Amino acid sequence: MVDLRTTLCGIELDNPVIPASGTFGYGREFAELYDINMLGTFSFKGTTKEPRFGNPTPRIAESASGMLNAVGLQNPGVDKVISEELPSMAKFFRKPVMANVSGFSVEDYVYTCERLDKEPQVGWLEVNISCPNVHGGGMSFGTDPGAAAEVTRAVKKVTTKPVIVKLTPNVTDIVSVAGACEEAGADGISLINTLLGMRIDLRSRRPLLANTTGGLSGPAVFPVALRMVWQVSKAVGIPVVGMGGVSSAKDVIEMMMAGACAVEVGAANLTDPLACKKIIEALPSEAEKLGIASLKEIIGAAH
């Protein structure tokens, strides 16, 4: 029997599989298809201080081995998440959940994190300084080590729960950003968010997305994500959550060997709503084939 358990910032998970923010909503629709309590946990829809409608349409474009999205953090705002979504979620998900937080200023991050930190269902705060699809915030914090550290330090002052900082791959040196977050007090790092890309409509000769650019996700980005997880996990002493193009149990094992203690699954949920269920069910047999008795043993094995 393979031991699938892992630990993320002091909280034990039954397995390392976590649906990524923005691909799983608040879990409600997926809970109608299977018992989502089989997941390690899930990262719910990115939350901002104020409600956001998001970017104009079209927001999605297909690409070989992946997709581009420019949704733009559509969400009802932190007050409604606390008053409506979390109580609803507690009815069908009994484990601690990961709250994904975005902002357009340090003050935004502080306000939203401080509010969510008080909620009993929230186990971790995933602070997203990496969204490429909003203007005047998001990724701008994640491309500069100083700005990343500033957000991390400010959030840590008002929270008691583990803070996991989500990084963008759209930088020259992701290790320096991760190191700055660790030094500022981050309890963990998650990476990667999407790679900035675009498509052009050949008939109109204009960008296909209304936002012009969007974030590339899916199997196409997996090798890039794996490389960055390997680099960051070697450089920091805090837990790393790996993501980016993960779509199979083998991908999860590879991410863990690169240094991830837990693995988020994103775009795969959009093409197959049972993706995470299938990955968890396949993990024991894939591990047995490789002679793995416990997933904890393989974390960072590629180092």
Residues designated as active site: 131
CA distance 286 to 255: 14
Contacts for 134-138: CB closer than 8 Å, 24+ residues apart: 134/55, 134/72, 134/73, 134/102, 134/104, 136/104, 137/102, 137/103, 137/104, 137/105, 137/108, 138/73, 138/102, 138/104
Q: Tell me how many degrees the CA angle 295-35-193 measures, rounded to the nearest 5.
A: 55
What is the number of alpha carbons within 13 Å of residue 193 lying toward its C-beta?
31
CA distance 99 to 82: 11
- 29, with CB counted inside 10 A (0-12, 13-18, 19+), is exposed
CA distance 128 to 285: 34
CB count within 10 Å of CB 91 equals: 9
The 3-class SS string of 32-90 reads CCCCHHHCCCCEEEEECCCCECCCCCCCEEEECCEEEECCCCCECCHHHHHHHHHHHHC
Tokens, residue 70:
């420019």
